[in-house]
Structure 1
Amino acid sequence: MHSVEFGAGTPVLVIHGFCVDHRLLLGLDPVFDAHGQWRRVYVDLPGMGQTAAGPEIDSTDAVANAVVSFTRETFGDAEFAILGNSFGGMIARHLVAEFGDQVLGVALLCPVVLADHGSRAVPQRTVIRTNPALMATLDPLDAADYEAMSVVQSPGNWSRFRDAALPGLRIFDPAAIERISKNYALREEPEGRFAAFQGPTLILAGRQDHVVGFQDQIALANSYPQSTIVVLDQAGHNAHLDQPVLTAALVKDWLTRVKAWKKSSNVSKT
């Protein structure tokens, strides 16, 4: 699996969503860089970014297994944290079930909770503020992709979407995505594999997220008792792009809690 790595210290695996690549989450890197020593590993999931996907990548389970193998090869027995967005949030939950106490903490940004789109509790698609002048300047294909996800259209919001989301949207493998989509649900729900994850958790959702919603994410917190649950207004499925300042503050708080958890865990082991 292709990955991009920065820094040194406590490992953290950063997992993007569906049909994009690691660049979707690079805007969060300054938060890691400014708050402690973190070895940040940003992956490209199979069939996305620069990671190829052979015919064996035919389901979300296959993607999850590839990430599990990558994680073992990359971190070994070291404790690590996870940040997952959307589809990557579903993979992150799988890793919590797979690695257990080796996971120091997990941040879930607009995570997929229910794989079946029809079963999700989602709000009606809403654009709070349009910007026709901006949209008229964009390439039609870019404009269509941006319009499908934007909640508040502005030059700043567009530039974040352009730099973070569009690159991955232009290079994913359509055949691999089709195979995975046909078997999109994990064979076993991660939370059914553990009683409760005790590590520091952040669950962040967008109030206007019409893709995965926010109600299922709030309910997910029952399995993560040490969780901060936030629903951001004026934020859709790319909440970290729509509300970057608030997201950065929440990720900073999560990192602080993870560091404290690691320290207390190491003390208890001695």
Structure 2
Amino acid sequence: MKCELKHTTIHYEIHGNGKPVLLLHGFSCDHHLMTGCMEPVFKSQSGWKRIYPDLPGMGDSTVTDGIQSTDDMLEALDEFVGEILGDEPFILAGESYGGYLSRGLLKKRQHQIEGLLLICPTAGQAKHDAPAFQLIARDEEFMSQLNHPDTGEFSGMHTVQDEYNWSRFEREIVTGLKKANRPFLERLRQRYDFSPEMEQLDTPYVKPVLILAGRQDHIVGYRNQWAFANEYPRASFVMLDRAGHNLQIEQSRLFRVLVEEWLDRVTEEQEAKHSQAKESVTRMRSI
């Protein structure tokens, strides 16, 4: 599907029916990053409509000179939400740069967002506080036989290197990297950080939140992510060992369990809200 906007044409996919979930991938990737890790979760979850866009200049989404910064990206994303969802409540999930944009979108649409998932979210380039790359596990036999142009990219990114991790990296990450508009992304890096006024919420966000961080994430680290958790009264913060910036792949079993628990909390919150609304109507009618 395509959504024509002022400065971009957004390509997106919709899976399933029910309550909307907007899922945002990371910098230079495309929607396959999020479908790869989230669709297995939703196989055991009914009643969710998953919306997977390619961000402007990535995947099959186009971009014009009207987008020069992350502030501009956020405006385009906000326009996309307005076109696709209007004022309908939804939950939001973002990975890395998609997590950064999610935090900006939360500032704009806090009243509308009923749950937030952040997977290895960036805090902006200026605030990266990350450890050095660390290799935790490597299948030497498989890696010695891997002959692929993107082997180096994989070896420099993954803290766990084996056939399973490679196959998902190739399918979910490399797919997007090959389509990315490189000149646009290089310009965007120069204005990657939000304007200061976008960094803080006006009021506390009290809906269910899950923040996942990799102990070996050498791209964005885990320290800033703990600071994010302190901003949200209903946040679970989980830092996983044996996990780098592609935590959703390297710790796939724990990832699935943790995201399912977050969805349970979101559902519980929504059901409590609906129950309170019904009780309020009943009381009004009895007056």
TM range (shorter): over 0.9
Is 2:153 aligned against 1:141?
A: no
Runs of 4+ off more than 4 Å: none
Alignment of 1:233-252 (within 5 A): 233-252=241-260
Determine which of 4, 21, 24 is the counterpart of 1:15: 24
Q: What's 1:88 paired with? A: 98
Determine which of 257, 267, 270 is the counterpart of 2:275: 267
Aligned to 2:150, what secondary structure does the other structure show? Answer: helix
CA distance in 2, matches of 1:45, 1:127: 30
TM-score (norm 2): 0.90
Determine which of 220, 225, 228 is the counterpart of 1:220: 228
CA distance in 2, matches of 1:143, 1:192: 39
Asked if the contact 1:114/1:216 (under 8 Å) is kept, the reply is: no
What is the CA distance between 1:57 and its match in structure 2? 1.5
Range with greater deviation from structure 2 (130-139 or 2-11): 130-139
CA distance in 1, matches of 2:42, 2:30: 19
Is 2:15 aligned against 1:6?
A: yes
Alignment of 1:100-179 (within 5 A): 100-116=110-126, 119-179=127-187
Q: Deviations over 1:130-188 (max 9, x none)?
A: 33433333345310110111101111111111111010011100111012111000113
Aligned to 1:247, what secondary structure does the other structure show? Answer: helix
One-letter amino acid of the structure 2 residue matched with residue 226 of structure 1? R
Aligned to 1:192, what secondary structure does the other structure show? Answer: coil
One-letter amino acid of the structure 1 residue matched with residue 29 of structure 2? V
Aligned to 1:31, what secondary structure does the other structure show? Answer: helix
One-letter amino acid of the structure 2 residue matched with residue 21 of structure 1? D
Aligned to 1:14, what secondary structure does the other structure show? Answer: strand
TM-score (norm 1): 0.95
CA distance in 2, matches of 1:223, 1:266: 26
CA distance in 1, matches of 2:147, 2:80: 37
In the comparison of the two structures, how many residue pairs are matched?
268
Range with greater deviation from structure 2 (185-194 or 229-238): 185-194
CA distance in 2, matches of 1:11, 1:188: 30
CA distance in 1, matches of 2:273, 2:121: 27
CA distance in 2, matches of 1:190, 1:213: 21
Range with greater deviation from structure 2 (150-159 or 137-146): 137-146
Asked if the contact 2:143/2:162 (under 8 Å) is kept, the reply is: no
Higher relative contact order, chain-length normalized (CA < 8 Å, sep 6+): 1
One-letter amino acid of the structure 1 residue matched with residue 110 of structure 2? G
One-letter amino acid of the structure 2 residue matched with residue 183 of structure 1? R
Asked if the contact 2:124/2:192 (under 8 Å) is kept, the reply is: no
Asked if the contact 1:15/1:22 (under 8 Å) is kept, the reply is: yes
Aligned to 1:2, what secondary structure does the other structure show? Answer: strand
- Structure with the greater alpha carbon radius of gyration: 2
Q: Deviations over 1:171-206 (max 9, x none)?
A: 100111012111000113545232311110000000
Determine which of 52, 55, 76 is the counterpart of 1:66: 76
Alignment of 1:34-45 (within 5 A): 34-45=44-55
CA distance in 2, matches of 1:127, 1:239: 14
